[in-house]
Structure formats: C-alpha cells, structure tokens
Amino acid sequence: MRPSKILADIIDSAIGAKAHYEIWWAQANEAKPSLVPIMNRHSDFFIASADAHYTAFFVYLAHLFDKRADSSSIPTYLRSIAENTEAEKLASLQSEYDLLAARAAPIITARHKSVAHIDAKLTEKEVFAPLEVTWNQVRGVIYDSAVFVAKLAGTNDLGSIGIARDRRLIEATLKLIRAVGASGA
C-alpha cells in the first residue's frame, strides 16, 4: 500500500465528514426557526438534502476510523508509515489517534445502527440515548479528526489541503437558504 494514496483518501474523508456535517447542521439546526418558512416552501429539496448530508458525514467519518487492513483509514495510514517513521513520532501519533478513536467509537456505533444498518427495533433517538453522545461531541470529533488528518499531512493549515475553516459551510448554507427566500422562488 502506498502511504501517499492512503493519505489522499483520508484527506478526502476528512473533507467530506466536516463539509457534510456543517451543511446538515445548518439545515437541521441553525436554520431553525427563522429560515423554516423558506425551507418549507421547498421541503422536498431540504428534506432530501438534510438526509443526504446526515448520511454522508457519518459515512466519511467512519472511513477515517475503519480498522480493516484493506481500507484507506487513519489506522491503515499509520501502519503504512511505520517502517519509515521515527519510533517516538509514530508512538505520539498512535497515542493521539487512540484518544480520538475512543471518542469516535460511540459515534461509529450510532452510525452502524442508524445509517449503515438501520436497527429494526430502535429509533434513531433510542440508538443514541445509551451511547450518551451529544451533537457537540459529534462536531468535536469531526473537527478534531480534520485537524489530526491535517497533522498527518504535515500542516496546521486545514485550508491548504481543502478542509474548510470551522463554520464556513454552515455560514454558506444559511446564506444560500436566505438567497432562495429573497429570490421569491
């Protein structure tokens, strides 16, 4: 496996997780209540859009933490650089990853039961309740995962690898919704 290919894939997954989360968050939360009348006029679009972004951010986030050896993920990337990375640096990266993965674990469980394989017995709320996961924790894991992937790419500048600054896509989504309202469409 080529580390450069795996790194490019996990950068794409970090971009996707953060972008889709922010667009979903804007539509499902920050647009309420003031922009709901605009969204209601185009409810078929906004329902489909929110669902697509919700599903996508979970899928992209899960890519980052996939433990399978044949997947492009952070664990696979760390294994692929092990031979050519100073032991102390690798141990530090692994330790940082382990903490992040522990925080992500309940979110990945929620994704498994509410997105990838919909639980026949439990509602989405019932899936999340025992995991004690808040949306602030989900956002924190997504944002921190993006920062960690940027670190793996050798930068502190997320924008330099295509990851939008925090809240950039929330703001853009809200502006787009307002523009739809202003157009009278």
Instruction: Measure the CA–CA gap between 57 and 132, rounded to whole angstroms.
Output: 19
69-89: pLDDT as tens digits: 999 999 999 999 999 999 999
CA distance 43 to 36: 9
Question: pLDDT (tens digit, 9 = 90+) per residue, 22-45?
Answer: 999 999 999 999 999 999 999 999
User: Does the pLDDT value for residue 92 go beyond 90?
Assistant: yes
- Using pLDDT thresholds of 50, 70 and 90, give the confidence band for residue 114: confident
Candidates 125, 128, 124, 147; CA nearest to 137 is: 128
In the DSSP assignment, the letter for residue 116 is: I
What is the pLDDT at residue 185? 65
Query: pLDDT-derived band of residue 125, with 50, 70 and 90 as boundaries?
Result: confident
**pLDDT band at residue 13 using 50, 70 and 90 as cut-offs:** very high
